[in-house]
Structures are given as structure tokens and as C-alpha cells.
Amino acid sequence: MATPLQIKQYREQGYFISDDAISPDMLAALEAGARRAVEKVRSGAVVATAERISIGGPGVEPRHVLGLIAPEFGEPIFAEYLMSEPVESYVRALVGGPLRLGWVALIVLCGPTEYDTGWHRDFGQEERDGSREVELEILGRYRKNLVKWHLALVDDACLWLVPGSQRRYRTEQEREVLINNRKGDVPHAQQIVLQKGQTIFWNGNTIHRGRLPAGVNERLTLTGALVKHEEDQREVLDERFRWQLADNVRAGLPVRMQDYYDRWRQVQDF
């Protein structure tokens, strides 16, 4: 359960780190399942489809595996994790309930490789270079019903963020890296160093960047989200998750997750 101090840090700084959002047994099962999922993409046992169940294919190195709860992967551990009591308790402490399906996906980096997303906010299709009034309106509204997190399946120091930036308009220096030079330096940016098994719950409206440190040859990080369900809040279907409309997806989920799936599908415009 999130402590008052963690909730305060999340509201003010845009993140907090938890040591107890997963049990040791589930952590081991998730790491093993993640490595199997990556091999299934590499081998072509699971390939990219028009519905985006996954990305990659034979001879292709996957970087972002989206469809871990799809029956094609045969890895029920990911659905079990998404519905686990520690994860749900943290999410409910931040946004309440009832909850609906968000996602669980895998970021994979193997071997010497370059990885740098550049600085950005997770604004989706929202305006990225608006006026103060426009940006503050987006920050006050966008994804307020969602909690996202990263779970380190191996040590992970790839995430950088600017604490507190989810609450305010960007500075001139921040605008420069958000719009013109996305790999420039940002004052007050903080590197998030996660040890294996630690989870960061964080707000994607922060100014942030994913960057593989020099000398690091592996990233195996599980990303997840759950959403507070609001029946009157329709949303345009994110094309990355169109695969979730396939006939075999709901039946392959744990019974309790089927309610979460139904709430998700109820609000989709597709």
C-alpha cells in the first residue's frame, strides 16, 4: 500500500519508487516469462500482425513487446501480475476505482546498442508546442485517471525525468529540448536508478527521456498501467492495442480480469 509520503511525492515530484510492489516468486516468474516472450518474437513463433500483437519477427531484435497478455504468447504470468494485489493497491491509492484494463508490455535491449528516446512528455496526440494556457490545460486533464509504472527485471538506470515538471509550464530551456534538440541537456534532470525488483510509479506528463547508459548491455523492463474506469469518458482506440479486440483475447484472460477487459472495451471508440 502506498504510504502518505509516497503519495505526496507522486503528486509533487511525479514519481516514487517501491520495493514491495512484487513478490520475489513472481519477480522470478516474470523474468523467465519475459525471456521466453523475447525468444518467441526472435524465432518467429510470435510475429508482427496487422493487429500489432507484437513487433519483430524472425531475425529481428524486438525492443517493445506490446501483446504479452495475448494468448499467442502463452504466458499467463503477465495477466496475473497486472491483477496482483500489490500493484492494484498502489494504483487504487493514487486514483481510486473501479479499475479497467491498461497494459503490460516489455522494453528489451540486448547487446551493445544505442537507445535514446530524447526528451518528451507522453502527450499522445495532444499539442506539444502550445501556449502556457494550452499546456497547463493538458497537464491538468490528460491521463489523470491512469497510473503507469516500470518494473526492473534486471537493474535499470535508463529513465531520466525532471521532477515536478508534470505540474508546470516548460521553461525556455525545456522547450528547446522538447521541440528542437531532444538530446540536449536539461537542468534539474534526475536519473532513476532501479535495482532488480524495484518499481517506479510515475507520471508520463513529466519531461522525461529513456537512455541506455554507456557500458550497459541489457535492459529488461516491464511497463504497466491500470486506469480508473469512468463510464462517460469515451476514448479513441489506440491503434497499438487494436489486437485486444481479437475474439480470442477476452477468453484467454483470468476470470477476474475479464471484468477489467469489458470496462476497457466499453469506452473504446473504434
Tens digit of pLDDT for each residue in 113-150?
888 999 999 998 899 999 999 999 999 999 999 999 99
Q: Among residues 76, 73, 54, 57, which one has the least CA distance to residue 65?
A: 54
| 8 Å CB contact between 220 and 106 | yes
Q: What is the pLDDT of residues 68-87, one digit of tens each?
A: 999 989 999 999 999 999 99
Q: What are the extents of the domains in the chain?
A: 4-269
Which of 122, 109, 94, 120 lies closest to 240, judged by CA?
122
Q: Which residues pair with 148 in a beta bridge?
A: 202, 225
Round to whole Å and give the CA distance between 115 and 24. Answer: 29
CA–CA distance, 42 with 56 (Å, rounded to integer): 7
246 exposure class (CB count in 10 Å sphere: 0-12, 13-18, 19+): middle
Confidence grade of residue 55 (pLDDT, cut at 50, 70, 90): very low
In this prediction, residues 246-250 reach a mean pLDDT of 90
Q: What is the pTM of this model?
A: 0.93
Q: For 4-269, which CATH class? A: mainly beta
DSSP 180: I
DSSP conformation class of 44: T
Contacts of 181 (CB under 8 A, 6+ apart): none
Summarize pLDDT for 128-137 with one digit per residue, the tens.
999 999 999 9
Contact 47, 58 (CB under 8 A): yes
